Structure 1
């Protein structure tokens, strides 16, 4: 019995010694999960790391920063590098290494101190020489979601802080399927530039996505071209400007409706009552109509003719060639702001 007690006492002393002399850090922190990014969509239970902690989403979220929104539950500190976006668009990207394989979306810091993003998989080509494989990246921005619209909902809200709730992000994304080439043609730079150009023009047309219908009601009866064989069945004053591009005239409602499979000639009010329909009419004009210009705004952007050419296709001689330089500059200002939000450059030929 005495020997058993002595053995027990010896074991207790050894345990106490270990507790005293072992460093507290021996209990290692959890490994950091994928880094949080503002553009990603998270659902309940998804884990992301941010600022040295793992966070678990309680429900669906996008663009809400862990630690500042109730949707995230703190799972405690973590160690190790995060394979994802880190701190949501920080500048902590690895140095480029010649001959190291990179995949599309990788971001590196080059020897000139600038950042580049892989546009295509490559075996370590030089970013400033192989422009097919690399494009400049503005540090501090979030890459677009893979396979998705190049504008995230948080970026959209940043562009339009006072927008009318009618112009919803979900309405816009629901309309994208009607014209899959929009903001989805060419390099990532061109995709971002086209999205910014489109949104800058609709911002100008609607006062920052505030106005759904044309504000000058005196113009309403003027948009009925009675020479058309179908006339104006919804009424002479029914075809006033509506939606993001302010669609107007009976013949435009007829053409847009035919292209989209929606009877807008007889029911033009759909453009002011259905967000997705409104966005579709704007995309219809952008992708298919030259207006007073020589090409569609879509073609102007994907063929590098510049933002100025999109202005010409929308308002032509009313603004271009000295018609109204103030209005042109207003559109340019919005475009320059939006490309900055999207982390790209505006390109050339901004004015018309």
Structure 2
């Protein structure tokens, strides 16, 4: 089980509440086994939703369907622990989803550069000048596309563009040179200034996990990456899933921008605790709120992504500046990517001002 001590991963219009996702066979419309070579027109709707539920998107990646207790469990490649399975309802009469296409089809180099145009500026001292680039993000995202990152259709409506905008909004805010202020338009361009925590005075070694993830001698597990990960157990889990020895060599994240993005997307896709949704799940709607969630005013959407990742360090605090900063980046990126900012008309989906946290806070800044 992936725990989090400082970082947190994990009413609305009825037409949105109705969506319950079902992954389906999209093999005829997908070529994700060759993700790096996809080009041409943007992804097209998959007409096979809710039919022939045998594979999810790309059988070459080993994403296989197993039925357990009346539910479909799609096992992700190279993941032996069943907690990492993607679970979905099996009712063929419910609205469904499929994944298809590639992030590079709709996020272009010029858009990425506009989003992060100040990242290599000479005006500020940064840790990561020249580190982050478009191709590293595209390569990293291709690794996660078969699992739905940036490629998900819900009820034949494409959510990939919005998801990438949401993900990059979190990345930009967490790595911004101006992350202590409510972002103006100019400040929205300062993301990706850093690839590690600016000032770390702790090694973040939790001895409770010394058997599963023993801390390496002299190694510090401070925040690194596009969505910083902390603590030995998080480095251990990420390294196990990505097949990289991050427990003994967390510095790899500081040395390889593709890996730094991969770890961030891994964090986006993985739930923090068992029986809780991932950030990906709450954003695309692949999560059904319980009665307790409804009472806690937790609904899916961009607001819930802040709840999963940061809990009550950001959410349930009213219209605080930290929350507004994340939202400002998200809306700005939607505009750059040419997507309607319809969320702005539904504040209950966009914010988490009144949401009760999924998990109690500890003692870190978001």
TM-score (norm 1): 0.56
Q: Does 1:325 align with 2:320?
A: yes
Quick one: structure 1 residues 255 and 272, their matched pair in 2 at CA, closer, same or farther if it must change by over 3 Å? same
Q: Deviations over 1:145-185 (max 9, x none)?
A: 98834311110110111124211111111112321120001
* Corresponding residue for residue 351 of structure 2: 351
For residue 212 of structure 1, report the CA deviation from its aligned partner.
Answer: 1.1
Q: Deviations over 1:66-91 (max 9, x none)?
A: xxxxxxxxxxxxxxxxxx9xxxxxxx
Separation in 2, partners of 1:214, 1:324: 26
For residue 273 of structure 1, report the CA deviation from its aligned partner.
Answer: 0.4
Describe the SS at the equivalent of 2:113: helix
* Corresponding residue for residue 231 of structure 1: 214
Residues 175-194 of structure 1: matches in 2 within 5 Å? 175-180=140-145, 181-186=148-153, 189-194=158-163
Higher relative contact order (CA 8 A, sep 6+): 2
Describe the SS at the equivalent of 2:110: helix
Q: Deviations over 1:218-244 (max 9, x none)?
A: 2x33x1101112321143x51000110
Larger radius of gyration: 1
Quick one: structure 1 residues 173 and 249, their matched pair in 2 at CA, closer, same or farther if it must change by over 3 Å? same
Separation in 2, partners of 1:330, 1:292: 29
Contact 1:190 1:301 in 2 (8 A): no
Q: Does 1:156 align with 2:112?
A: yes
Aligned residues: 214
Quick one: structure 1 residues 149 and 273, their matched pair in 2 at CA, closer, same or farther if it must change by over 3 Å? farther
The Cα RMSD (Å) is 2.8
Select the residue among 286, 298, 303 that pairs with 2:268: 286
Describe the SS at the equivalent of 2:351: coil
Residues 39-188 of structure 1: matches in 2 within 5 Å? 148-163=104-119, 164-180=129-145, 181-186=148-153
Separation in 2, partners of 1:292, 1:205: 25
Residues 28-47 of structure 1: matches in 2 within 5 Å? none
Select the residue among 210, 213, 231 that pairs with 2:196: 213
* Corresponding residue for residue 342 of structure 1: 337
Separation in 2, partners of 1:202, 1:159: 11
What 5-or-longer segments of structure 2 have no aligned partner? 1-39, 48-94, 96-100, 120-128, 177-190, 287-299, 353-366
Describe the SS at the equivalent of 1:148: helix
Separation in 2, partners of 1:147, 1:325: 32
Quick one: structure 1 residues 147 and 212, their matched pair in 2 at CA, closer, same or farther if it must change by over 3 Å? closer
Quick one: structure 1 residues 291 and 157, their matched pair in 2 at CA, closer, same or farther if it must change by over 3 Å? farther
Q: Deviations over 1:101-129 (max 9, x none)?
A: xxx86xxxxxxxxxxx98579xxxxxxxx
Separation in 1, partners of 2:225, 2:340: 28
Q: Does 1:247 align with 2:229?
A: yes
TM-score (norm 2): 0.54
Q: Does 1:314 align with 2:309?
A: yes
Contact 1:234 1:267 in 2 (8 A): no
